[in-house]
A and B are shown apart, each in its own frame.
Chain A
């Protein structure tokens, strides 16, 4: 892997994100109704966008793994890294949403369609990752988790459209028409910064996942918890 990308991408991503947040905190005007509380938008919204993007990548990789005749561990590793990064971003998005909700809605949480579908999404991908840890055979793991990934992806459009399909506490998506230009700019800069960081995280996690897959296939006994060497440590100690 090119060192320039490996170190340059996260540094540039952090820089752009810092610039976006600085603009959002210091340069953009406060919302005329919410005041300064609205500035958390530059954190919450990019997090949720990138979470959705990562989950979608997980879906694409899962379908590709099952459909392609020369499916490789690369696709399985892509799916795993995307789910994990997406889950971190989505969880942070939910927390920042709750923090935003308390002063504006009056509550951290309510079971409205958007919040409920988002919670289901996080539980689904947690289950996906748990399943992956439970299945030791890499082939079966890749196949089964790909099926779960496809089923879990039903929820992505539901999360996105929930605020349009049903009545909810959460407002519908904003657009540049409903948001002042200065705020739109801050949102875009923050989102680009987080996108670069997300790509960096995905690449890093992907490399780890792929190395694990290759090790599993080449030397099944060498890994912890897969019989062989591990069972030596598992034997009960006798005094």
Chain B
């Protein structure tokens, strides 16, 4: 075999392996077995199997559910499937200072454990941002977002959960 023919064979082989690997990743449904986080309804559907294992729970902070106890520095809030009312949600307890953007209706991913008491104890609280970038509206100061939090001027992160499936 000439070197050129041998190299072409190598190229064909490598391309075939690469294509098969990529095809498997893209269409092999590995996402069904390997998810970065569970939504509240998925976790609740697991029943007792979800207890005491370290898991990630992802969703949206249910509007009006944030309770910050400054004395004990504990944070309670509910993670819901989406920002709509009445969707399944899970109560989360965190002792961490939340990231700057944490607020109602924003997408969050929490790492921790769930148990029979129905409380998810989080030891890692992450906020995920949507793919939207906008200038502040008239009169808004983005660096003082905390003060505007109560007025509900913020938008929900929709780039998570249901849409990603």
Contacts and interface: CB of A to CB of B under 8 A. Distances in A.
Interface stretch (A63-71, A91-99, A230-238): A63-71
Contacts of A158: 22, 25-26
Interface residues of A, number: 54
A105 B125 CA distance: 8
A167 B58 contact: yes
Contacts of B125: 106
B164 A167 contact: yes
A31 B7 contact: no
Contacts of B136: 29-30, 32
A103 interface: yes
B99 A171 contact: no
B7 A143 contact: yes
Contact of A35 (B17, B26, B145): B145
Interface stretch (B43-51, B83-91, B113-121, B126-134): B126-134
Interface string A11-41: 0000000000000000001111111111001
B22 A157 contact: yes
Given A32-B136, A110-B126, A174-B131, A169 B22 contact: no
Contacts of A164: 164
Contacts of A168: 36, 164
Interface string B133-156: 111110010110100000000110
Between B26, B58, B98, B159, the greatest number of chain A beta carbons within 10 A of the residue's beta carbon is seen for B159
Interface stretch (B8-16, B65-73, B74-82): B8-16
A107 B7 contact: no
A67 B124 contact: no
A104 B100 contact: yes
A226 interface: no
B99 A153 contact: no
Nearest to B30: A166
A202 interface: no
A173 interface: yes
Interface of B: 3-4, 7-8, 10-11, 13-15, 17-18, 21-22, 25-26, 31, 34-37, 58, 96, 98-102, 109, 124-137, 140, 142-143, 145, 154-155, 157, 159-161, 164-165
Interface of A: 29-38, 41, 63, 65-67, 69, 71, 103-107, 110-113, 139, 143, 146-147, 150-151, 153-154, 157-158, 161, 164-175, 178-180, 182-183
